[in-house]
Amino acid sequence: MTQKFDVVVIGAGPGGYVAAIKAAQLGLSTACIEKYTDKEGKLALGGTCLNVGCIPSKALLDSSWKYKEAKEGFAIHGINHAGVTMDVAAMVGRKANIVKGLTSGVATLFKANGVTSLQGHGKLLAGKKVELTKPDGTVEIIEAENVILASGSRPIDIPPAPVDQNVIVDSTGALEFQSVPKRLGVIGAGVIGLELGSVWSRLGSEVVVLEALEKFLPAADDAVSKEAYKTLTKQGLNIKLGARVTGSKVNGDEVVVNYTDANGEQNITFDKLIVAVGRRPVTTELLAADSGVTIDERGFVFVDDQCATSVPGVFAIGDVVRGMMLAHKASEEGIMVVERIKGHKAQINYDLIPSVIYTHPEIAWVGKTEQTLKAEGVEVNVGTFPFAASGRAMAANDTGGFVKVIADAKTDRVLGVHVIGPSAAELVQQGAIGMEFGTSAEDLGMMVFSHPTLSEALHEAALAVNGGAIHIANRKKR
Ligand code: FAD
Ligand code: AMP
């Protein structure tokens, strides 16, 4: 008998699994198809994010930071303990356990909410039918009232540096090193390159990051990207801007990488090379030729601003569609689509999706940068507060960076919050909440913030917008 569901989701990443749970919660009969298996060959839900993305990378970032702190950051607190060592296999094993816990947690949530979990490859056919190819090769056709495509993305390969997952790895391989490479190359100074480069640099690798662009972190506010470059370079990341990789040759256990920069052709030898030049949408065998769903010129499933594809009742969300490749964007699109299937009003404020880079200090922002606003001809007032003036940051010996609040000069409405510093991701979220409700800098300045907190830096930066900061000299006078 043909199985029939109100909603069939293809892909169980943070887009797909969240959509499936929400659909079941709203009373829709729901199935979620996923094909990814872990090293033991077991179905693993959670997609890139839980298996090889957000969570495992943060696990290694946290472990490596603790190691670096123990080695270099404890003495100032009066804690003297010599001979700190790192057991890389134990660190990677801890990460694997976290992944296991979370991916099996998604399976539990599916059960608890009544989502039917189907293992195999899903392909959309015409007429909202889905072909499920199971691991044993048998094929089943499933009927759906609505289909949500959530097949995600995978790392981009570049011909000059073909990934072998041994000497030349992608982000997935870089989460699995069993020892610390002495000389580590990273191609791409984007979020993933900087995070993974930081992990191994903290553990002792000499890290060189080769970035084709002349500008560092072009999406960030200029003040933040300048500070980030300075700090990360000081920490030991050798970031070469304007360095385009043109070729590589693996010789046994090492790789010689060719690149061009302002001085011409260069080469450099590494023990491991991470290729982190971005991600591309996964649409392989996802759509039958007559499915009716179209792909845009960049390979993304074409959708409108509410994630509807060109076929009524078929939606696409997350990394497989336009926009930022972020787990929280994928999840919110999943919720929006399901609410709309149910006939409820729902939309996402794409202007307020926060971005975070989990280096140390963290880098995070929401809203527009000062340079974008100026280019748009918007007059702004800016307030900045350095963590060096924060009592809480001093107590923690973590005083690098600042909070920058940008407000419309005419209305005082906050248009951007940019943070580099301790807990930047959490602070920016406070800005995002305020901005969603149309906060002005004055509103933020009038709120009571607990003392001593890092959040006070946001408070002071908001006060500084109109020349009212208390704990630093104001650049702007009232
Ligand atoms: P995915 O998570 O890619 O999931 C898609 C799923 O669909 C996969 O499990 C895949 O196996 C399955 N699938 C594909 N095709 C089919 C098919 N035909 N049939 C059945 N199953 C199929 N984002 C953040 O927000 N914060 C971070 O800190 C962060 N860190 C990251 C670190 C790294 C190293 C990487 C690689 C990514 C990181 N990301 C981060 C990005 C984040 O992982 C993605 O944006 C997010 O996972 C996208 O979710 P998704 O559901 O669209 O797709
Ligand atoms: P992101 O897309 O944010 O993950 O960043 C990927 C980065 O890789 C971008 O900043 C690209 O400029 C960079 N990049 C892409 N191809 C190359 C290359 N051949 N050599 C060096 N950097 C590259």
On whether the CB atoms of residues 330 and 150 are closer than 8 A, the answer is: yes
d(CA 48, ligand 1 centre) in Å:
3
From the CB of 273, is ligand 2 less than 6 Å away? no
From the CB of 277, is ligand 2 less than 6 Å away? yes
Distance CA 337, CA 441 (A): 33
On whether the CB atoms of residues 95 and 176 are closer than 8 A, the answer is: no
From the CB of 334, is ligand 2 less than 6 Å away? no
Length of the chain: 478
d(CA 6, ligand 1 centre) in Å:
24
d(CA 381, ligand 2 centre) in Å:
33
Which of 194, 216, 248, 277 has the most ligand 2 atoms within 8 A of CB, as the residue to mutate?
A: 277
Task: Tell which atom from ligand 1 comes closest to the C-alpha of 17.
Answer: 51
Tell me what pLDDT residue 477 has. Answer: 65
State the CB neighbour count (10 A cutoff) for residue 456. Answer: 21
Torsion 29-35-37-42 (CA) sign: positive
Backbone angles phi, psi at 49, to 5 degrees: -55, -55
Query: What is the DSSP secondary structure assignment for residue 76, as one 8-state letter?
Result: G
From the CB of 412, is ligand 2 less than 6 Å away? no
Residue 239 pairs in a beta bridge with 209
d(CA 283, ligand 1 centre) in Å:
13
Torsion 304-309-315-321 (CA) sign: negative
Distance CA 251, CA 253 (A): 6
Paired tokens of 48: 């890139």
Which of 196, 211, 261, 266 has the most ligand 2 atoms within 8 A of CB, as the residue to mutate?
A: 211
The number of the ligand nearest the C-alpha atom of 331 reads 1
The number of the ligand nearest the C-alpha atom of 300 reads 1
From the CB of 219, is ligand 2 less than 6 Å away? no
Backbone angles phi, psi at 364, to 5 degrees: -150, 150
Question: Measured between alpha carbons, how far is residue 126 from residues 29, 30, 288, 312, 448 in Å?
Answer: 21, 19, 7, 11, 57
Distance CA 204, CA 200 (A): 6
Collapsed DSSP state (helix, strand, coil) of residue 30 = strand
Distance CA 123, CA 118 (A): 13
Task: Domains for the chain: give ranges and CATH numbers.
Answer: 3-155+280-350 (3.50.50.60), 168-277 (3.50.50.60), 361-465 (3.30.390.30)
Task: Tell which atom from ligand 1 comes closest to the C-alpha of 155.
Answer: 36
d(CA 12, ligand 1 centre) in Å:
9
Q: Half-sphere exposure (CA, 13 Å, Cβ side) for 356?
A: 21
Distance CA 286, CA 464 (A): 51
Picking from 278, 251, 250, 254, the residue whose alpha carbon sits closest to that of residue 187 is 278
From the CB of 190, is ligand 2 less than 6 Å away? yes
* Tens of pLDDT, residue by residue, the chain (478 residues): 789 999 999 999 999 999 999 999 999 999 999 999 999 999 999 999 999 999 999 999 999 999 999 999 999 999 988 899 999 999 999 999 999 999 999 999 999 999 999 999 999 999 999 999 999 999 999 999 999 999 999 999 999 999 999 999 999 999 999 999 999 999 999 999 999 999 999 999 999 999 999 999 999 999 999 999 999 999 999 999 999 999 999 999 999 999 999 999 999 999 999 999 999 999 999 999 999 999 999 999 999 999 999 999 999 999 999 999 999 999 999 999 999 999 999 999 999 999 999 999 999 999 999 999 999 999 999 999 999 999 999 999 999 999 999 999 999 999 999 999 999 999 999 999 999 999 999 999 999 999 999 999 999 999 999 999 999 998 766 6
Residues with CB under 6 A from ligand 1: 10-16, 33-36, 47-49, 53-54, 57, 121-122, 150-153, 171, 192, 282, 286, 318-319, 325-328, 330, 358
Residue type, 180: V
Closest protein CA for atom 7 of ligand 2: 188
d(CA 44, ligand 2 centre) in Å:
29
Distance CA 287, CA 273 (A): 34
d(CA 461, ligand 1 centre) in Å:
35
Which residue reads 């975070």 in tokens? 356
Distance CA 180, CA 159 (A): 26
Tell me what pLDDT residue 386 has. Answer: 98
d(CA 54, ligand 1 centre) in Å:
9
Question: Measured between alpha carbons, how far is residue 60 from residues 98, 99, 162, 172, 329 in Å?
Answer: 11, 12, 25, 12, 23
Residue 405's Cβ-count burial label (10 Å; 0-12, 13-18, 19+) is buried
Question: Measured between alpha carbons, how far is residue 178 from residues 12, 70, 86, 174, 468 in Å?
Answer: 28, 21, 11, 10, 52
One-letter-per-residue 3-state SS of 329-354: HHHHHHHHHHHHHCCCCCCCCHHHCC
Which residue reads 């107590």 in tokens? 395
The number of the ligand nearest the C-alpha atom of 275 reads 2
Residues with active-site annotation? 451
Tell me what pLDDT residue 1 has. Answer: 75
The number of the ligand nearest the C-alpha atom of 208 reads 2
Closest protein CA for atom 34 of ligand 1: 53
Task: Tell which atom from ligand 1 comes closest to the C-alpha of 120.
Answer: 20
From the CB of 188, is ligand 2 less than 6 Å away? yes
List the strands of the sheet with 244-251, edge to edge.
244-251, 254-261, 264-270
On whether the CB atoms of residues 381 and 464 are closer than 8 A, the answer is: no
Closest protein CA for atom 16 of ligand 1: 151
Is the pTM above the cut of 0.95? yes
Q: Half-sphere exposure (CA, 13 Å, Cβ side) for 49?
A: 25
Residue type, 195: E
The number of the ligand nearest the C-alpha atom of 52 reads 1
Backbone angles phi, psi at 118, to 5 degrees: -115, 130
CA 287 to chain centre: 27
